[in-house]
Amino acid sequence: MSIFVDENTKVIVQGLTGGQGSFHGLRNRDYGTKVVGGVTPGKGGTDVDGIPVFNTVAEAVAATGATASFVVVPPKFAADAIIEAAQGGITFIVSITEGIPAHDEARVYNRLVEEFPGVRLLGPNCPGIISPGKCNIGITSGDIALAGGPVGIVSRSGTLTYQALHELSQQGIGQTTCVGIGGDPVPGTNFIDCLAAFEADPETKAVMMIGEIGGSEEERAAEWIKAHMTKPVVAYVAGVTAPAGRKMGHAGAIISGSKGTAQAKMAALSEAGVHVCLNPTEAGEKMVEIVRAL
Amino acid sequence: MDLFEYQGKQYFSRFDIPVSPGGVADTVEEALSVAARVGFPVVVKAQVKVGGRGKAGGVKLATNEDEVRTHAGAILGLDIKGHVVKRLWVEHASDIEKEYYASFTLDRPNKVHLGMLSAQGGVEIEVVAEENPDAIAMLQIDPLVGLDVATARRWVAEAGLDEEARAQAAELLVKLYTCYVEGDCDLAEVNPLILTPDGRVHALDAKVTLDENAAFRHPEWEEFRATETEDPREKMAKEKGLNYIGLDGTVGIIANGAGLAMSTLDVVNQVGGSAANFLDIGGGANADVMAAALEVINTDPKVKSIFVNIFGGITRVDEVAKGVIEALSRVTITAPIVLRLDGTNAVEGRAILASHLNDRLLTEPTMLDAARRAVAFANQ
């Protein structure tokens, strides 16, 4: 099984007619994802390589029965696009946009929670989600993933998500689902959401978790793992050598005072029984060892 | 982007938050003229983006022109933790009855806004939080609801602010919240927020951090950007759309994605090297961006080798390869370059580079191998 999406998930792409939207939307379709429509205001009635384009999300949902949306729009329009998706009946929204103002993210997150409790937002500023062989929504290169499980991956960093997939796939270890939750301060989906879903998924036997400096999500995940997780977890936290007070690229990746350091996160995870590794390769090797011993 | 105190106060003024009358001075003469305008006594304050300036002698009271001359002269050019003072803020000195603390920031775990208010201001809030957490009244604010005066009134009472300060403080807090939200601040902090003996409440300091992601709707931020005292290489990188942070080591790092760039730093460190920088070319970088990244690193004399670590996703490896070749044709890159290329269009990228490889431009199959090779070059 997979979490959040599967081979039946119908996806629309908001921004399909743009450069990034068409490149990744078509790649997602080529991977086998059911990309059933696109949305670009003013371009309804046209198509992108055979994928029909609609003026609004509501029209697209009515015509196609889509339940998921891949939102590929610039930061300025991202908040409105996400809300439009929820209003239009989409229940799983993937937002890859980097650079959305934090206040917009906070408003969107709380609006979704209050007005659309059944909607899950993944991102913003994330690579998306891939259930190998079934569904790929986002910008992950599908060929680095391997179908068949048994590992679930959850990561705060885009490129490290690819690295994690690559480390496992090269060793012949498949993945059930790989979720990139993104590196922004207000992620719609967090580590615990994904850990809980993996814990409940019978085909996922172990979880790889990639964290990074900033915030306290890894520490909260560690508490949750300690209390609820029965499956083995391997973790890597990026930014051991990051200096304090400098944002390391992601809006959320900043060590403020003594808070948010990689060391503190690694200690909390270790204490919760997680196998903490010092680099992505070591994490991959550890996971291979765990899976082979299952 | 962190603002200087004077910029923070100017920002506060736009939202009608009361601050002391004052002005900016870059010379002793300007300091004297501001002092004459706002009236003695005045406080002469170093404008640096680092804490602890008071202890370093960067904040002085002056009761007459001679003292302004002495203090302004001493503070201008003063080195405070590596920050040389180039600008002063001179303001009318306030009599202080009580010092409070107020701030708004994002409550990341709860995904709402967090107001912090304390009757124990003037000291580092981290210390108060540690030693006497009950002295801070925390208020979670739903971004969709905001902060109204009625809530602010309950909050100031809960925080134990003095009776005579409460009405004004509540009003000021609502304005500060407006500044935080409409002004797209990551942090809006007043420490101390003061009550004067004659019963007025105003902001004696201003610490504002702006969310650069919101710059598109704040053209007025340009003036703040002009005074950013950045490392020249960081400035050059930013102009080219790169996310660069200078560090002390010898291995120049270029990676796509913040996580991979951080991880690259870690791995270089683990195999016995040290990174000269953090450089994230971002998502979807094209050949031009990659070439610019190499050019930025090439201006750093500390760099003994360059490690290009790319895992293509939205970034296409063929574009990266083209950028490397482009950079090599435009400038002489002095340090050897070790590349590790995987992900989207990696096969095409490696093919583009194949005919250009030599003992100063080489590829390694994995991140660890490439880190070892780059560190070996740097340590030669």
* Tens digit of each residue's pLDDT, chain B (380 residues): 899 999 999 999 999 999 999 999 999 999 999 999 999 999 999 999 887 888 899 999 999 999 999 999 999 999 998 889 999 999 999 999 999 999 999 999 899 999 999 999 988 888 888 888 899 999 999 999 999 999 999 999 999 999 999 999 999 999 999 999 999 999 999 999 999 999 999 999 999 999 999 999 999 999 998 777 667 888 888 888 898 999 999 999 999 989 999 999 999 999 999 999 999 998 777 888 889 999 999 999 999 999 999 998 778 899 989 989 988 898 888 899 999 999 888 899 999 999 999 999 999 999 999 999 999 999 98
Strands (E), B37-176: 42-46, 59-62, 79-80, 83-84, 88-92, 98-107, 112-118, 136-141
How far is Cα A38 from Cα A51, in angstroms, rounded to an integer? 7
Domain count, chain B: 3
Pairwise CB contact (< 8 Å): A279 & B311 = no
Segment (H or E) for B310 = strand B305-312
For tokens 């060929």, name the residue: A143
Domain boundary among B92, B115, B139: B92
CA dist A108 → A82, A95, A246, B214, B251 (Å) = 8, 12, 26, 15, 41
- For residue A253, pLDDT over 90 is answered with no
Chain A residue with minimal CA distance to B247? A243
How far is Cα B305 from Cα B333, in angstroms, rounded to an integer? 10
With respect to residue B151, please indicate whether it lies within any of the assigned structural domains.
yes
Among candidates A126, A135, A68, A54, which has minimal Cα distance to A97? A126
Q: In b/e form, how buried is each residue of B281-318, taking b as 16+ CB within 10 angstroms?
A: bbbbbebebbbbbbbbbbebebbbbbbbbbbbbbbbbb
CA torsion sign for B320, B326, B331, B332 is: positive
User: Do B336 and B272 fall within a single domain?
Assistant: yes
User: Do B238 and B359 fall within a single domain?
Assistant: yes
Q: Answer yes or no: are the C-beta atoms of A274 and A230 closer than 8 Å.
A: no
Helices B232-239 and B287-298 pack at an angle, to 10 degrees, of 170
Q: Per the structure block, which two tokens stand in for A230?
A: 């029965």
- DSSP 8-state code for residue B56: T
Q: Answer yes or no: are the C-beta atoms of B178 and B15 closer than 8 Å.
A: yes
User: Do B237 and B121 fall within a single domain?
Assistant: no
Q: Per the structure block, which two tokens stand in for A163?
A: 């690295």
CA torsion sign for A58, A60, A62, A66 is: negative
Query: Average model confidence (pLDDT) for chain A?
Result: 95
Pairing of strands B185-195, B207-210: antiparallel
Pairing of strands B243-246, B207-210: unpaired
pLDDT value for B128: 85
pLDDT digits (tens, 9 = 90+) for A254-283: 777 667 899 999 999 999 999 999 999 999
What class is the A10-122 domain?
A: alpha beta
Interface test with A, best of B48, B105, B108 (most A CBs within 10 A): B108
| B residues 335..364 contacting A (CB < 8 A) | 342-344
Q: Which residues contact B61 (CB under 8 A, 6 or more apart)?
A: B41, B42, B43, B44, B67, B93
Task: Tell me the whole-structure pTM to 2 decimals.
Answer: 0.92
What is the domain extent for residue B207?
A: 98-224
pLDDT value for B316: 86
With respect to residue B6, please indicate whether it lies within any of the assigned structural domains.
no
User: Do B123 and B216 fall within a single domain?
Assistant: yes
Three-state SS for A83-143 is: HHHHHCCCCEEEECCCCCCHHHHHHHHHHHHHHCCCCEEECCCCCEEEECCCEEEECCCHH
Domain boundary among B192, B224, B256: B224
CA torsion sign for A123, A125, A131, A134 is: positive
Q: Does B265 touch chain A (CB under 8 A)?
A: yes
CA dist B136 → B11, B17, B130, B174 (Å) = 25, 22, 10, 18
Which one is predicted more confidently, B55 or A226? A226
User: Do B261 and B128 fall within a single domain?
Assistant: no
ipTM confidence score: 0.91
Q: What average pLDDT does the segment A88-116 reach? A: 97
Of the given ranges (A33-47, A67-81, B121-135), which has the lowest mean pLDDT? B121-135
- Confidence at A31, pLDDT banded by 50, 70, 90: very high
pLDDT value for B229: 64
**3 state DSSP class of A52:** strand
With respect to residue B14, please indicate whether it lies within any of the assigned structural domains.
no
Interface test with B, best of A103, A104, A143, A156 (most B CBs within 10 A): A103
**3 state DSSP class of A48:** strand
With respect to residue B15, please indicate whether it lies within any of the assigned structural domains.
no
Cα distance from A2 to chain B (closest Cα, Å)? 22
User: Do B217 and B245 fall within a single domain?
Assistant: no
**Which residues of chain A neighbour B275 with C-beta distances below 8 Å?**
241
User: Do B139 and B217 fall within a single domain?
Assistant: yes
Exactly one of A24, A103, A228, A250 is catalytic; name it.
Answer: A250
How far is Cα B200 from Cα B95, in angstroms, rounded to an integer? 10
- DSSP 8-state code for residue B94: P
Domain boundary among B92, B120, B141: B92
Exactly one of B11, B101, B180, B244 is catalytic; name it.
Answer: B101
Q: Per the structure block, which two tokens stand in for B203?
A: 């902001």
User: Do B46 and B155 fall within a single domain?
Assistant: no
Q: Per the structure block, which two tokens stand in for B317?
A: 């490896």
**Which residues of chain B neighbour A281 with C-beta distances below 8 Å?**
366-368
pLDDT value for B9: 96
- Examine the residue annotation and report whether B189 is marked as an active-site residue of this protein: yes
User: Do B237 and B339 fall within a single domain?
Assistant: yes
Pairwise CB contact (< 8 Å): B211 & A103 = yes
Q: In b/e form, how buried is each residue of A145-166, taking b as 16+ CB within 10 angstroms?
A: bbeebbbbbbbbbbbbbbbbbb
Tell me where in chain A the CATH 3.40.50.720 domain(s) lie: 10-122
Residues pairing with B115 in the sheet: B104, B139
Range A141-292 classified under CATH 2.30.42.10: no
Cα distance from B108 to chain A (closest Cα, Å)? 6
Q: What is the DSSP string of A157-221?
A: -HHHHHHHHHHHHHTT-EEEEEEE--SSSS-SS-HHHHHHHHHH-TT--EEEEEEESSSSHHHHH
Q: Does B247 touch chain A (CB under 8 A)?
A: yes
**Which residues of chain A neighbour B216 with C-beta distances below 8 Å?**
75-76
Q: Per the structure block, which two tokens stand in for B177?
A: 């919240």
User: Do B242 and B191 fall within a single domain?
Assistant: no
User: Do B110 and B194 fall within a single domain?
Assistant: yes
pLDDT value for A257: 67
CATH number for position B122: 3.30.470.20
User: Do B369 and B237 fall within a single domain?
Assistant: yes
- DSSP 8-state code for residue B218: -
**Which residues of chain B neighbour A213 with C-beta distances below 8 Å?**
262
